[in-house]
Structure 1
Amino acid sequence: MKSRRAVLTGAGTVSTAALAGCASRLPGVGAGDGDEVSTTTTKQFDDSDTYVGMVYATGGLGDDSFNDMANRGIKRSRVEYGVEYKNEVPESPDDMQDLQSGYAASSNPDFDLAVCVGFLQTDPLKQTAKAHGDQQFMLIDSVVDRDNVANYVFKEHEGSFLVGHLSALLTTQEFAAGAGSTNPDATTVGFVGGIESGLIKKFEAGFRAGVDQVDEPVDVQTAYVGAFDDVEGGKEAAAKMYDDGADVVYHAAGGTGLGVFQAAQERGRFAMGVDSDQSESDPRYANVIPASMVKRVDTAVFQAVGNVVDGAFQGGSVNSLGLAENGVELVYGSPLGDDIPSDVVDAVAASREGIVNGDISVPTTPEGN
């Protein structure tokens, strides 16, 4: 595939007006964190450089989770490859196609890669990729079957299985660490999802299967808030679970999950992080986070950008990353991870090995769905 850089070499200065519909509140091309950068530019750029356009999920940066992991990947690309990048956050899914198309239509700079973060970008990208066949795209968490799209998906159910197993082991014993403790009279855990979708159901399915790995019966409560940026909604959903006896709540809800952590602190219980090690990404809540299910979105972004830099863009590919590929992982929190009993850690490690070697098959949909 001929890159847009080859097609557009020699093009003059063009304003990226299509991007101006959603004003950038985030770092832009070549900018440092916190800088305010206009989406319209008349600056001439060096054609020898590589430019990447980032379109994030609607939860925005600062979610200490999914979007921030993607941002970490492009920051690493800037350091190690010298690429320049621009960040855009849609105010709603309706803005996604305009932002995708804006990168594709831009010639100053002409973007070598447009990274589309999140499954809600799928339908817009089907249209954008078809209309702009010479633009290279990366899609995270879904698949668009076109030669100019490199797709990266994850086996979230595998990592979530480990979280479920750990949560069940903790709720079935007396455990206290940091600001949390379990109730010896209850064996209950919870799951809080963002938007109810096939993707988030994979998290729930793995979590439930992991809970079932223990011999003692454990109740699982589930709630979907309907958004990835509703902190109050996440707090309300988790608080109800804690009040109903849950010792541990796992979230797959982006920025909404911050409310889960707040409820855990207020109720003196535990919450499991997602996408990044949330005991480190937001240490305010480290005293209630025993572990997180890390999803290496940063590695996927870094790999995809590296392929473009090397002239080896993998258009039309579907890259599926699970435990065996180090695409997902359970990471114990700091400082609570050191307090988890060794027999619990060993049991979870055995489950991990069972998944990797094929002895344990993890479902992708919750039982009964």
Structure 2
Amino acid sequence: MKMKRVVAFGLALTMGISLIGCGGKKKAEETSDKNGKDFSVAMITDTAGVNDQSFNQSAWEGLQEFGEDTGAKVNYLESKQSSDYVTNLERLGDNNSDFIWAIGFDTADALLEVAKENQEFKYAIIDNAYEETPSNVTGVIFKAQEPSFLVGYVAGKTTKTNKVGFVGGIENAVIQQFMFGYQAGVAFAGKEMGKEIKIDVQYAESFADAAKGKAIASKMYSEGCDIVYQAAGGSGTGVIEAAKEAGKFAIGVDRDQAYLAPKNVLTSALKKVGTAIQNVSEKVMNGEEVGGKTLVFGLTEDCVGIPEKNPNMDSKVYEDTMKIKDMIKSGVITPPGTETDYAQFLKSIK
């Protein structure tokens, strides 16, 4: 079953999108008399798997922390292929999970199918906003263009060759937010410095093919890129490996990936998936009605950003990037997440 999916922040009014903070999280036992031990939360991964060093891993770590904080039972099922999604979601329902997460836009059709057939269960999905969200489903999306703009600005201010790269997983509206935000950040830095910086963009067409990610990035480095940003899940670990072999820089995604290559990761675009999962799971456990809604997390909600200064990054670049962060939060800069918005952004800085 194929359903049209929408991930667009400009539809906030018509879709009933809500903004919700990631900072200042209190443990559920401090906000409710409900016993967490009577509550169970589970998730299914997308095909990148739970140990992807990125998206799914952050989700599972957040869910584990939720369990530790509240006493709730937590569990996950790993999806080896997309045909596993429906089966895994149904298995979690058979296990009587109180709240079930689907991780990644690729699970959207499967979740919609299962949620409509099982109205008694509550579900949530990371990185998808339905045009019509079922009453027992909560959509969670991130302004991925915001941290991507920041790391693009860092890349633009750092590059020595004036050529940088971007490697995406599977091209879709979500990954385009990363791509266009990054390109805009690079362009903004170039404008500040009065120079043109070229950007090579390619897709691995997979979130689980590290070898493909490595091959693409290796070619980019050999052709003059000295910094490559990856938003490619498990495929992105290959980009970081290529950076190590080439003695160049990679930019991580979703979590601080500096530990994968301390000398070769320049920074990372943080998307606090785990924190969002804790926040929403807590609300559901406490009886708050969040079904039928799409919740949005961005810089204003302290749910995206970059890590504190990386030793590979010039201190002045970091300071300048923090000023850009403040400009985004105040609305002076609006990072683009679509091709149309990107074109308009480029016109605005000419």
Q: TM-score under structure 2 normalisation?
A: 0.83
- Corresponding position of 1:255: 234
Answer whether contact 1:304 1:313 (CA < 8 A) is retained: no
- The 5-angstrom pairing of residues 124-163 of structure 1 reads 124-144=110-130, 145-163=133-151
SS at match of 2:119: coil
- The 5-angstrom pairing of residues 169-180 of structure 1 reads 169-171=157-159
Answer whether contact 2:36 2:70 (CA < 8 A) is retained: no
- Corresponding position of 1:264: 243
Confirm or deny that 1:119 pairs with 2:92. Answer: no
Same amino acid, percent of matched pairs: 32
Confirm or deny that 1:166 pairs with 2:161. Answer: no
Deviation readout 1:144-178 (Å, 9 max, x if unpaired) = 4011011110000011000100001000xxxxxxx
Answer whether contact 1:292 1:332 (CA < 8 A) is retained: no
- Corresponding position of 1:62: 51
Deviation readout 1:126-148 (Å, 9 max, x if unpaired) = 11111111100011100240110
Answer whether contact 1:137 1:150 (CA < 8 A) is retained: yes
Q: What 5-or-longer segments of structure 1 have no aligned partner?
A: 1-45, 172-183
- Corresponding position of 1:42: none
Q: Distance in 1 between the 2:154 and 2:247 partners?
A: 18
Answer whether contact 1:112 1:308 (CA < 8 A) is retained: no
SS at match of 1:101: helix
Answer whether contact 2:171 2:203 (CA < 8 A) is retained: yes
Q: Distance in 2 between the 1:313 and 1:52 partners?
A: 16
Q: Distance in 2 between the 1:340 and 1:250 partners?
A: 15
State the Cα distance separating 1:313 from its structure 2 match: 4.1
SS at match of 1:358: coil
State the Cα distance separating 1:358 from its structure 2 match: 0.6
Q: Distance in 1 between the 2:282 and 2:272 partners?
A: 15
Larger Rg: 1
Higher relative contact order (CA 8 A, sep 6+): 2
Which amino acid in 1 is paired with 2:65? R
Q: Distance in 2 between the 1:312 and 1:67 partners?
A: 25
Deviation readout 1:4-30 (Å, 9 max, x if unpaired) = xxxxxxxxxxxxxxxxxxxxxxxxxxx
Which amino acid in 2 is paired with 1:114? I
Query: Residues 241 and 48 of structure 1: is their aligned pair in 2 closer, same or farther, counting only changes over 3 Å?
Result: closer
Deviation readout 1:198-238 (Å, 9 max, x if unpaired) = 11011000000000112211000011001111010000000
Confirm or deny that 1:206 pairs with 2:181. Answer: yes
Answer whether contact 2:263 2:312 (CA < 8 A) is retained: no
Q: Distance in 2 between the 1:290 and 1:231 partners?
A: 19
Answer whether contact 1:150 1:313 (CA < 8 A) is retained: no
Query: Residues 360 and 47 of structure 1: is their aligned pair in 2 closer, same or farther, counting only changes over 3 Å?
Result: closer
State the Cα distance separating 1:308 from its structure 2 match: 2.3
Which amino acid in 1 is paired with 2:210? V
Confirm or deny that 1:99 pairs with 2:88. Answer: yes
Q: Distance in 1 between the 2:297 and 2:304 partners?
A: 7
- Corresponding position of 1:79: 68
Q: Distance in 1 between the 2:233 and 2:265 partners?
A: 15
Q: Distance in 2 between the 1:140 and 1:47 partners?
A: 23
SS at match of 1:318: strand
- Corresponding position of 2:314: 341
Q: TM-score under structure 1 normalisation?
A: 0.79
SS at match of 2:42: strand
SS at match of 1:241: helix
Deviation readout 1:20-47 (Å, 9 max, x if unpaired) = xxxxxxxxxxxxxxxxxxxxxxxxxx99
SS at match of 1:97: helix
SS at match of 1:251: strand
- The 5-angstrom pairing of residues 19-30 of structure 1 reads none
- Corresponding position of 1:24: none
- One of 222, 226, 239 as aligned partner of 2:218: 239
Q: Distance in 1 between the 2:300 and 2:101 partners?
A: 25
- Corresponding position of 2:4: none
SS at match of 2:38: coil
Q: Distance in 2 between the 1:210 and 1:47 partners?
A: 43
- One of 334, 354, 363 as aligned partner of 2:327: 354
SS at match of 1:60: coil
Q: What 5-or-longer segments of structure 2 have no aligned partner?
A: 1-34, 345-350
Q: Distance in 1 between the 2:287 and 2:269 partners?
A: 32
Query: Residues 228 and 277 of structure 1: is their aligned pair in 2 closer, same or farther, counting only changes over 3 Å?
Result: same
Q: Distance in 2 between the 1:284 and 1:99 partners?
A: 30
Confirm or deny that 1:193 pairs with 2:168. Answer: yes
